[in-house]
Structure 1
Amino acid sequence: MERAEAEEARAANPGATAIIRSLAPFADGNPGAPARPLAVSPDDGGPAVRVVPARSIDLTVFFAYDSARLTPEARIQLEPLGEALRAEPLAGHGFLIAGHTDAAGGRAYNRRLSLARARAVKAHLVETYGIAPERLRVHGWGPARPKDPDAPLSRVNRRVEVSLIAPDRSGALRFVLPVADRTCTDLADPRLRTDLDLDDFRAAPTQRPCAE
């Protein structure tokens, strides 16, 4: 147990650039058949959304034992995510923040705990990084979607997952920037930014909604 706790303590989340690379939308994605969007009815009471499995990332976030209170370490762990969500490549897009637990304990209790933790992450991002709350939806999966199905009690299953909310069927984004902020640069293709060092797999750049 002590060894597992030490390994968890050493876990490091990706930096902001890597998070942007994982979440930024592409026009035609990576080679091969892309995974179909997953329909989710978030636990925040809002409308159902479709998330893009290929544009998701798992993050380690330390909470106080058996609670949704962020630890000081968690605030440091969430810094790259806050920076990434404020960056131009992700501006104008919505994301689902989902909590996951291992299978220890009751399923209903774990689901409530995972939701409370997702809400805590959202509140921190809104308060600390000024992320518009409308961009973030929350959901608690509990133990229902383990990262390692063969080891349901493993610590690796405890995580916060951030996923891109897919455009609706008309192609429009679900999150719309305020009129004053609707500019082409807000929705620029991240692959055009050389500092991100993204591999576009020879895919065509995403056409910006405000382009003629």
Structure 2
Amino acid sequence: MAATSPTWVFGYGSLIWNPGFAYDARVVGFVRDHRRVFYQGSTDHRGTPQFPGRTVTLEHQPGATCWGIAYKIREEDKQTALEYLEVREKQYDEKIHLDLYTDSSPKVPAVENVTVYLATTNKESNKNYLGPAPLEEMARQIYLAEGPSGPNKEYVFKLEDALNKLGVVDPHVQELANAVREYSDAKLSK
């Protein structure tokens, strides 16, 4: 009987601070040619169908890197973990496989073929794709949106904090977190 290769899942959003499934190992690293963007609407976690929140997805961009955490799932936990992820990530309409790199091995992947859930721009398969918007508009939407998993702004701040703990500065996350804080300050000063 041939040995099966391990299953790895890459977290670049809430999976960084809250994987929610059993895993055997975790590796901090990055995927190439993709950047993290707040372009996916969330109607089931950080917003509602009437007022979607914004969560991250990956956008293909040659030369870009997106840092996160890859989790190795034990064979005996695989079915449970993948069933859980299919529900949790159900608004992401595509799974791709990318190589994960770490700063200590820039030419050779640390882990090959990690599974990555992402939201495409295809409005037929992804009805919740919101796409880009002006920073102030995204900040306002994030500040106001709230869903079953909590306020959308909490998601942004937890992602910012989780990345900071990894020693990663993501300019898009940082800009948006600052814009949400500015929007909040403006609301409080009125």
Answer whether TM exceeds 0.5 for this pair: no
Structure with the larger helix share: 1
TM class by smaller structure: 0.3 to 0.5
